[in-house]
Structure 1
Amino acid sequence: MTGWIRRLARALPSGRPLPAREWNPRHRAILWILALHIGGLFAFALVRGHGVGGATLAVIPLGVAFAAAAQRVFSRNVRAGAATLGLMASSAVLVQLGDGVIEMHFHFFVMLFVITFYQEWRAFLLAAGFVLAEHAVVGVLAPQLVYDHSEAQHHPVQWALVHTLFIAGAAVAAIVNWSFADRAHDAERRIAARMEYEAERDPLTGVFNRREFDRRLAGASDGTHAVVFLDLDRFKIVNDSCGHAAGDTLLCQVTDLMRDTLRAGDVLARVGGDEFVILLHGSTAEQAAVVAERLRRVVGQHRFPYQGRDFTVGLSAGVAAVHEGDDRQAVMRAADAACYAAKHHGRNRVHVVSAGDKDLARQGGQAHWAERLMNAMNQNTLVLYYQPIVPTAGPTGARFGELLVRMRGDDGGLIGPGVFLPAAERYNLVTAIDRWVIGAALERLAERYRDADPGDEVFSINLSGSSLGDASLLQYIRDELEEHGVPPRAICFEVTETVAVGDVGRAVAFIRELRALGCRFALDDFGSGLSGFTYLKQFPADLVKIDGSFVRGIVHDPLDRAVVESVHRISHEMGLRTIAEFVEDTEILEALRAIGVDYAQGYGTGAPVPFDGWLAEHALEVPAAVA
């Protein structure tokens, strides 16, 4: 029996009390309904000939119930119970004034619907109990007031049970319907709560996301706080060597370590792949630096074993104070720049923002140049320049040159790549520059080759390390060559030695794909990376550009000359032609000619000129048949 009672209790609606903002207007509505019944039943009693005294006596119980239900000194349960009894009593009075006519009993069901406003199943028990007691007692004392047929009048208690069963059945139906609605509302609340949780949380680690962190940072006031920007060191090694599943596992472990180290009120958020940020309430920059150092040690001591290998990661951190009135996003940028400064100075360290911080000034300058660079690409205000690459043995009729990129300044002047390329590298814009240069160059060459053959001329374009191996860029080059009708043999791509040896397999595959189309390749700045000639055998290149740092001193420094001679000799043994960079005068050119270097590039052989102007000056002759 106890088990059945428990199961019945679980089946009932949850019975959570309505909030006051919902319960109060519902209760007021029920009181209005009860008050209308008091007036209506008084008038009905007069019509039925009961006189003022009889009519007053009939509605006195309803008035008492109304008075009790309207008293705020009573609890909500007492007030709801009084109102429920008043409604049921109004039905009983109506039945009695109507001499027990069966149609009058329908009023009980109407009042049963009204009490559902309370969403309290105990009210239904009270209603059913009232019907049983009233029908039984009045049915025994004056059965003609309750029932209009002889069977009920002779067996009032039995019919009281029958009426109560009908009321109970209606109540059960209402409760079941309410229970379903209650469960649906619970499901909606759970979904809403889950959506709210997911809207403010990082799905992988469970900590806050960037949007929620920004909201909490904006709301932080009343005193000094601190922001710590964190970036994992060597995390990419785990991702690249073991896959993203391993990287995700490591991120979750590191997140748990940080969460265990921080205070309960500190706000931790993941704002990037391996980037986190923390808001330390009530902390100065110095106190936050201590916390950041503690996090750095904890994360650095963590070992991540995976498939028989053991990995460790470091932590670079930037700390910035938050004072009342500070621009919160400016603080975030300062903490981010401080973190980057920590990585720039060797990684796995903490950098605190301070007045006159040159590192942060440099980062702020890079952010400015990154913004200008994006605008320049969007507005097409980057400019192509052309620098000739000339044969050391003298003119041959063939044209060979490198395409360089410049930015147009606000005053119309030109800004060299040494100013904006560091910002491009910092903010991952180098690949976008590569795409712009390729697209702009092929668009101009399409016009040049529309009615003429390129012959032996070659245009060299630099590719950055982030572009090398990018499958989407590879497809972009294919599409642009085909769309503009530029012969691939007219394009030579340059990659630096240090970039190429960083990922030999990827670089070789990328180079082979483009050489298969007919493009040429040059290994740029050879000798600067000290990678040795072993790598030279692995790259399917056509040319080797000797690093200019050796070419500059070729006349006066025997060691520089020996390096240039060695690179040239070995390259020729492998069937590769050589280009010397930074050829600044005729003396260097004569020395290169004596060694046998194939080509020279520098201000001594030709300064960079606007590419559009060069194209106009060196227009190709259109065959007579075509003309």
Structure 2
Amino acid sequence: MTLEPELKAERDRFVAFAFCWSDIVLELDLDFNIVFVGGAITPVTGKSDAQLIGTAVTDIIDDDDLDVFLQVVSATTADNRIESVSIKLKGRKGPTPPIEMMGYRVRDLKDHLFLGLRLGNNFGRATDLKKDKASGLLDNKSFLQAAQTRIKQQATAGEHVEMTMLDMDQLQELANTLGNDDAGHLMNSVGAYLRSSSIGGDTAGRIDDNKFGIIHKSGMDVDQLQNKISQMASKASGGKVTLDVKAATMEVDADHISDEDLANGLAYTINQFKNAKGADFTTGSLTRNMSALVKEAHEKITTFKNVVKEREFFIAFQPIIGTRDGKIHHYECLARFRGEHAGKSPYEYIVFAEETGLIPDFDLAMAQMALQWLAQQPKGRQVHVAVNISGYSVGDSRYVNQLIMMLRDNEWARDSLMFEITESSRLENLDEANVFIQTLRNMGHKVCLDDFGAGAASFQYLSTLEVDIVKLDGSAIHNALRAPKGRSFLIALGNLCRDLKVETIAEQIDDPRGLTFVRDCGIGYVQGYLFGKPSPDVTTFDPLPKAELFSKKAMSSNAATPAILARI
């Protein structure tokens, strides 16, 4: 009898220990039915303890996280704890915010599974993390953000982790051949499996259509991961497709790496992986430790900063030409590198600068160089140039403030200097971006929106961002040339822009056929190698190469239809 108070006190003590960390505790039997529940379950789910006892725990797990939950709890043994997995419950008013879950299976207590759930934003997770709809995984940018946070947390706790990049070459192609339901099930299954294999169940991301990344415990069986995904693909295709899953795993030794260096190293690694094609992706190409990659990224960052500081680049001009009169409307300012960097791909430099947060400084330098060039032009020469602004820079307050100050100091250039917003998909807040664009326009500078294509996002940009010009993406033009309904689409797009009083430019016009096509579709201006490659000397385009394409004879032999002319 004297033991009963002691046993009760001991029990209460352990319950108190549990609630030091957990807000909700659950005991599940072998069928994952709830046999005990305690804590704040009623305020969260709207169901009492009595209502939940005897029911399946899956009834209170949010549908989007159900696959991950089942994979995690099914794999749990007495030797394998559940450590910091993120799930959502079915709350009173819909899915709850992410809840941290830990668990342990106890052999001596009927092999039951004991779970502790902790409410709140316990990992300092960003609330703006975005997910890929098809797989349920974090998108490229959000994966980078979550990976950095999780890696630093694990390092603080003394835990070593690894990052594995997975290239599933034919996954999206396979999904496209399946019906909507089967394709959705395949992508969801792959996503759920990767999430359940990641630390916390929330550090797996979709880098590109067929490329994925995952942060996981050191020593995880990556071969098993590859085989499991291949089996999923084989099952989905009825055994017709054998998916080749390539993997590269790297140790993430973040103990003595600063937050900034870690972010740059991760961005550099993920960007390398995303842009690798075919034979470029090998196990050896990425299987290095984070310290080595941070060093490599740091060297590239230092090099790029010096390129900007020492102005080891120059402007090459490419003309934008009226489709009907052959007159140059303006020139786009493109960067070309000199010295030891001469001949290197400007695209690779720019992408690297965007991924590592260096692009605002480069964009400012280009604007300064354009202003200096304009100031050196002879009196009487009317020339207009457009300088690129990355979508990354639009969201950088320091860049915005410095650019506005620069333009106020050079009001004489308002009629000559235009701006072109590139990488518009990087614009995170369209309303704020539009405020910036209107500031430029109110100062007298025209603004062009680059990368305008056939996707729904482009039309959202056009409806929110008030611009003077849109530049039609080269791939959209080429697709319109090939597609049976391409001409009709481009005509409709041109008419829409005219109704909005927005001018149109077709880029990558490299042959007379392309010029005739876009002119017949009512597009106002063209840009491309048909009129020569970009040059540091604008007199290269005076007289304009291929000017005969705008002769009366050429125009009359390729006349637009009356319906189009009526709208021009």
TM-score by length of 1: 0.44
Structure with the higher fraction of residues in helix conformation: 1
Higher strand share: 2
